[in-house]
Structure 1
Amino acid sequence: MSTATGVGSMPGDDLAAAQRLVLDELADHLPHLVELPDRGIHSGMVARSLALVGAIGVDLQPAGWRLTDASGIDHRRAQSRLAQDLDVLEELSQGWTGPFKVQVAGPWTLAASVEKPRGDKVVSDHGARRDLAQSLAEGVRTHVRDVRRRVGGVETLIVQVDEPALAAVAAGGIRTASGFGRHRVVHPPELSEHLGWVLEAVTAEGAVPWVHSCAPGTPLDLLRGAGAQGLSVDLGVIDATGHDALGSALEAGESVALGVVPAVDGVAPTESELVERVVRWLDMLGLDPDVVRDRLVVTPSCGMAGATPGWARRALVLAASTARHLSEA
């Protein structure tokens, strides 16, 4: 049976309401821990993942998050915000059982977003990016244990590692601090190794590692080689090489989460249109829906922080109903 989930972010600043919505609308599918970037920088994707990093110091500077000798008050605020969100999840999930998903920013997205102590991005320094990736891996281990402790009804825990910046890192597309240059390309062996540390940490704790990116040009084969057991993508930006990688993943028994529901308000497709789109895609790959439907997950095309609350609800409903119709197709 196909299932449905959200990518992670939702609109608004009411965590309890958003989390309740996800638990209700995806009750028979794959609910997830909600992220609400509208609450401020301490609730953004980067801050939430830095909240897991305890072995190195982090602080917030005018230019953004930066590694420091000791953690500052903003790092502690990010940690407190994540703990509060998990408190809310723990309360709302009482009596609930089933699979569940949490999201963390991956090592390359952090390296492309966070600065070194003296400026410029971590991605520019081999040692700094290694230390950040290894610290993130250890933080993810602790996070998985914490979620399992708080949400006792979790049967399968999926950790979605968000890597929207990985394609740019691989292509040398991350700008330097001056804005006039770009950092050097990071080559595939190192990209795979650092990502692999985080994915291995997830696996070692008995959870299932997925990698998500809605950026075009993401090297999906590299993600699989690093240990991803699920790929989450925006179907609309995948090229021929990506289609082949997704088909290979399905044939290998891995999960593929297809972003087919619009993430922001606009002309809403019907359930039948979405089902037809997925079935046509499977036909293009030469895959039988009856064989792979249990590995298919329907999602919005990307995070929904920019959507209206009404559309966010509608998108989750569409994803869930599309998954149900795929199971009957």
Structure 2
Amino acid sequence: MDVELPWGPGTASGVGSLPYTDPMEATRVVLGELPDLPHLPELPTRGPGADMVGRSCALLVGLGVDLQPAGWRLTAAPGRDQRRARSTLGQDLDALEELTQGYTGPLKVQVAGPWTLAASVELPRGGRVLGDHGARRDLAQSLAEGLTEHLADVRRRVPGASLVLQVDEPSLPAVLSGAIPTPSGFSRYRSVDNPEAEALVREVVSAADAQGAIPIVHCCGSEVPFELLVRGGARGLSFDMARVRDADVEALAAAVEQGVTLFVGAVPAVPGPEDASTKPSREGPRGPSDLEVTRAVLRFWRTLGFPEETAARGCVVTPSCGLAGAEPAWTRTVLTLVRKVAAHLDDRPDSATAPDDERS
């Protein structure tokens, strides 16, 4: 797979969500900490419609949704909550447009994938869209059409950007294994076979391709179906490095050989016990050192069978997952770490990114 990538070697990026409520503040943080591959922040603490599923519902074309006690539900016409979600997205895009005047380079936006959306949204009479073959196909088509409009809008607002679309599919492993519970909780929805799962992923990925955006797929769980995602058209795979199983190594190595970039989630999205017990610096909790994380990424890359010197081109360094559940101080720590680690992979001797244990 020969794809011209809009980012260079030694790049870091975020996953999507951040623990802020002000889109201007969040966008400034992203642009400052992740200048090589910034992203449109998701701010779920702002309320319904600002989270991953709500933002994706805002993009739907020809399908109305509203927020019920059990979650988002399809309706005959757009409801108040869908209109509010669209307004919230518009505010986020306004902040992005204002703060990226004159920007040129890659820019990532995120959307919930068709299977995560189908597992999250209810039918008008109850039960998840996942349980209705026709409804889940209609939902994927509506999402793809909405994405076409959304990407065109982002391109208009940030004309110098080379767009990257991240499709978030945290529910896909559970969909494939038949682990999504029904509303009663006493049974599970039937598992979806791989060809159908691949087809709906491709439906959404094709919308990115049609707009000239690089499509990547993110899943920070375990048992990620990497081969299915590559067959579905993903040109990048985003995952939590700590959850990669021995059984995944062959699939990831094959993906790299096809030109797929690995978005390696190398820094925990929330601090572990060892980080919580460490005396924080003035900038916030220290977390692992950038040198430790760099070594872990290089070990992982070698496990896939590739020489260390190619890691900077084959990997984009990210947090392990979204940062909505983190404290702002930890968020800064994580974003600084991924940027430093990416620079180390590219062996850039920059004083701002010198390994922690080499600084006085």
Cα distance in 2 between the residues matched to 1:222 and 1:31: 27
Which of structure 1's runs of 4+ aligned residues deviate more than 6 A?
none
Cα distance in 2 between the residues matched to 1:326 and 1:88: 32
Which of 222, 239, 248 is equivalent to 1:242? 248
8 Å contact from structure 1 (residues 203, 209) kept in 2: yes
8 Å contact from structure 2 (residues 311, 345) kept in 1: no
Cα distance in 2 between the residues matched to 1:231 and 1:241: 16
Check if 1:321 corresponds to 2:329.
no
Amino acid at match of 2:250: D
Deviation at 1:264, TM superposition (A): 1.2
Deviation at 1:292, TM superposition (A): 4.3
Cα distance per residue 1:42-98 (max 9 Å; x no partner): 101100001110211111112110011111111111011101110110001112221
Which of 310, 334, 340 is equivalent to 1:291? 310
- How many corresponding residue pairs? 327
Which of 57, 68, 75 is equivalent to 1:61? 68
Check if 1:227 corresponds to 2:233.
yes
Cα distance per residue 1:89-143 (max 9 Å; x no partner): 0001112221110000000000000000100100000010000001101111111
8 Å contact from structure 2 (residues 110, 166) kept in 1: yes
State the secondary structure of the residue aligned to 1:134. Answer: helix
Which residue number in structure 1 is paired with residue 34 of structure 2? Answer: 26
Cα distance in 1 between the residues matched to 2:94 and 2:251: 38
Which of 279, 288, 301 is equivalent to 1:282? 301
Which residue number in structure 1 is paired with residue 85 of structure 2? Answer: 78
Cα distance in 2 between the residues matched to 1:325 and 1:19: 25
Which of 139, 161, 167 is equivalent to 1:132? 139
State the secondary structure of the residue aligned to 2:18. Answer: coil
Cα distance in 1 between the residues matched to 2:249 and 2:264: 11
Amino acid at match of 1:173: A
Deviation at 1:320, TM superposition (A): 0.4
| % identical aligned pairs | 54
TM-score of the superposed pair, with normalisation by structure 1: 0.97
Which of 106, 110, 113 is equivalent to 1:103? 110
Cα distance in 2 between the residues matched to 1:210 and 1:223: 9
Cα distance per residue 1:147-175 (max 9 Å; x no partner): 00001221x21000000000000000100
Which residue number in structure 2 is paired with residue 93 of structure 1? Answer: 100
Which structure has the bigger radius of gyration?
Answer: 2
Cα distance in 2 between the residues matched to 1:175 and 1:253: 36
Cα distance in 2 between the residues matched to 1:57 and 1:278: 43
State the secondary structure of the residue aligned to 1:256. Answer: strand
Which residue number in structure 2 is paired with residue 258 of structure 1? Answer: 264
Which residue number in structure 2 is paired with residue 42 of structure 1? Answer: 49
Which residue number in structure 1 is paired with residue 187 of structure 2? Answer: 181
State the secondary structure of the residue aligned to 2:306. Answer: coil
Unaligned runs of 5+ in 1: none
Check if 1:271 corresponds to 2:290.
yes
State the secondary structure of the residue aligned to 1:42. Answer: coil
Cα distance per residue 1:207-243 (max 9 Å; x no partner): 0000000011121100000000000000111112322
What RMSD, in angstroms, separates the aligned Cα atoms of the two structures? 1.1
8 Å contact from structure 2 (residues 64, 79) kept in 1: yes
